Amino acid sequence: MLASGTVNLPQSRLLVVTGASRGLGVALSLAALETGYRVIGVARSAVAGLPYEVRACDVSDAGQVAKLFRSLHHESGLYGLINAAGIASMNLTLTTPPETMQRLVATNLLGTMYCSSAMGRLLARRGCGRIINFSSIAVPLGLKGEAVYVGAKSGIEGFSRAFAREMADFNVTVNVVAPGPMRTALIQGVPEPAIETLVRSQVVPRMAQPEDLWHLVAFLLDEGSSMLSGQVFHLGGV
């Protein structure tokens, strides 16, 4: 079972999960449902057939993000945001087209900022909540061929540390989860030797499974984790 983490929560708590139509976003959403949370997913287009609602929103578009979170204003039990939306493109910086750079920064960094800001305003009014953003082990390891991606993810870490201080007065925590490589569409373009090098570089030299990721996310969502904020947690260790 994915939902191996235990949390103390009323059944009415609502999580918003971006990137919820595939990969880790789906895994986290399903695990959250199993644990007892309600989930509203966010993806570039609405998706049917999942056991939770998925609303259409391109997180790199500030106007769409603002519209989405306005629609959440009256949702009861709004409690947390998991910014799982992200894209990657492995290429040397010297040969990376400017439009690819823009897309990586817009989705990974700006998308995280837009959603965190919009959700932060809603949670501040409620006086509690959790925001979890996603970075990558590629940041501390400085992965060759991922410099633009690493730049965007580094920005998420710096933003989250500062944003955590801004949200502390509202009893809202902001943390970052930075996993190593996991078997999702995000690493399909990464050569296998590069993946193996990353895994060997971890303190725990094995590829994480979705339940490993959920265990950490569930811990950070728990109401007992109110003293943890502005931190980056490397799943697998560096």
pLDDT digits (tens, 9 = 90+) for 26-53: 999 999 999 999 999 999 999 889 999 9
Q: Count Cβ atoms within 10 A of the Cβ of residue 43 and give its class: 0-12 exposed, 13-18 middle, 19 or more buried.
A: buried
The torsion angle over the Cα atoms of residues 186, 59, 164 and 73, rounded to 10 degrees, is: -130
Report which of 154, 129, 159, 156 is spatially closest to residue 142, judged by C-alpha positions.
154
**Fold for the domain defined by 14-233:** Rossmann fold (3.40.50)
Per-residue confidence at 89, pLDDT binned at 50, 70, 90?
confident
Single pTM value for the model: 0.91
Q: Categorize the per-residue pLDDT at 5 as very low, low, confident or very high, splitting at 50, 70 and 90.
A: very low
Active-site choice (37, 52, 114, 149): 149
Q: What is the rounded CA–CA span in Å between residue 104 and residue 132?
A: 19
Instruction: Provide the Cα torsion 50, 55, 59, 64; round to 10°.
Output: 170
149 in catalytic set:
yes
Tell me the pLDDT of the chain averaged across its residues: 92
Q: How far apart are CA 48 and CA 208, in angstroms?
A: 28
Tell me what pLDDT residue 7 has: 43
**Considering the chain, what percentage of its residues have pLDDT values greater than 70?**
92
pLDDT at 6: 44
